Amino acid sequence: MPIATYLRFSLLTLCLAASGAQANNLSLIKNGFFVERASLSDSSPILPHQPARVLPSGVEVSRGAVALRPGAASLFRGRANGTLFAPVQVLPSAAKQLMTLIAGAEAGKAGYDAVQHGARVRPTKRPTEMTVAEIYQWIEDTPGQPHAIGRYQLIPATLRRLVRHQEVPHSKRFSPELQDKLAHQLLEEAGFSDFLSTDMPRADFMLNLAKIWAGLPTSNGSSYYEGYAGNSAVYTWDDFDAHFRKIFPG
């Protein structure tokens, strides 16, 4: 092959490869969030309130939400093998409103500084004043008690998973901004982007949220984990549905 022809062919091949890679990357962007593949052992949406119990399915249930044990199957089989990494700080208005609704069922008035009420030994500082490393140390120093923390009552397994996936430095403060960013990944894992694009029915998305946060009701008015570790829905179904429709009309 003449050298000029070879060079043109090589250049064309490189351009096509770059174009394909770019297209592949673009396919991984949804609503400004980068889709990061995760292993099954990392698939664990979670959060708590009271001492957790382990169901036969491998789901560990606690008051504020649920966590999958390492290696357990995903709550959302078929979609949670991938998780979403959020490098941006600005969240969509609808996401903020939805997270406020969830926080009302999980943290109450304490908001971003909420600590599970069953924790006998509480942190010496407000959660929003602690670094991720300090929270980890508090968890390590106080075994045998609930450790759900923050506005979304993140339990240790969930917190560690989200921090790892989003590559959050352990020196980072557990600020409201960071808590929102971590919680938004859970929304995405439940199908937030799919719901907004009408690829997921409203009822399916709401059920997925109830599978993550035990304070939310299912359509029958009960928590998805009703009766496990004292779980019960904070909202009635009518209240949850009415607030949901205000956030997402139509």
52 with 142, same domain? yes
pLDDT at residue number 179? 97
47 with 17, same domain? no
173 with 196, same domain? yes
What is the per-residue burial (b if ≥16 Cβ within 10 Å, else e) of 88-103? Answer: eeebeeebebbbebbb
- Is the per-residue pLDDT at 189 higher than 60? yes
pLDDT at residue number 99? 95
3 with 118, same domain? no
163 with 55, same domain? yes
Helix (H, G, I), strand (E, B) or coil at 61: strand
- Is the per-residue pLDDT at 58 higher than 50? no
4 with 97, same domain? no
Q: How far apart are CA 206 and CA 226, in angstroms?
A: 16
82 with 177, same domain? yes
Helix (H, G, I), strand (E, B) or coil at 191: coil
Residue range 10-38: mean pLDDT, rounded: 35
Reported confidence tier of residue 91, pLDDT bands at 50, 70, 90: low
Report the mean per-residue pLDDT for the chain: 73
- Is the per-residue pLDDT at 51 higher than 80? no
21 with 124, same domain? no
Reported confidence tier of residue 49, pLDDT bands at 50, 70, 90: very low
User: Can you give the C-alpha Rg of the chain in angstroms?
Assistant: 21
Most confident of 36-40, 92-96, 178-182: 178-182
Place of tokens 């928590």: 223
pLDDT at residue number 23? 33
The residue ranking higher by pLDDT, 17 or 203, is 203
- Residue 153 · residue 64 · CB < 8 Å: yes
Structural domain of 185: 37-247
56 with 13, same domain? no
Reported confidence tier of residue 207, pLDDT bands at 50, 70, 90: very high
pLDDT at residue number 1? 53
- Is the per-residue pLDDT at 125 higher than 70? yes
79 with 10, same domain? no
End-to-end Cα separation, the chain, in angstroms: 62
Ranking 67-76, 190-199, 200-209, 226-235 by mean pLDDT, the lowest is 67-76
12 with 97, same domain? no
- Residue 213 · residue 225 · CB < 8 Å: no
φ and ψ at residue 34, rounded to 5 degrees = -85, 130
Q: How far apart are CA 104 and CA 106, in angstroms?
A: 6
44 with 12, same domain? no
Q: CB neighbours of 125 closer than 8 A, spacing ≥ 6?
A: 134
pLDDT at residue number 227? 82
Q: In percent, how much of the chain has pLDDT > 70?
A: 63
Ranking 59-73, 95-109, 116-130, 166-180 by mean pLDDT, the lowest is 59-73
Nearest to 189 by CA among 169, 159, 164, 162: 162
- Is the per-residue pLDDT at 130 higher than 60? yes
Reported confidence tier of residue 244, pLDDT bands at 50, 70, 90: very high
Looking at the 3D structure of the chain, how many domains does it have?
2
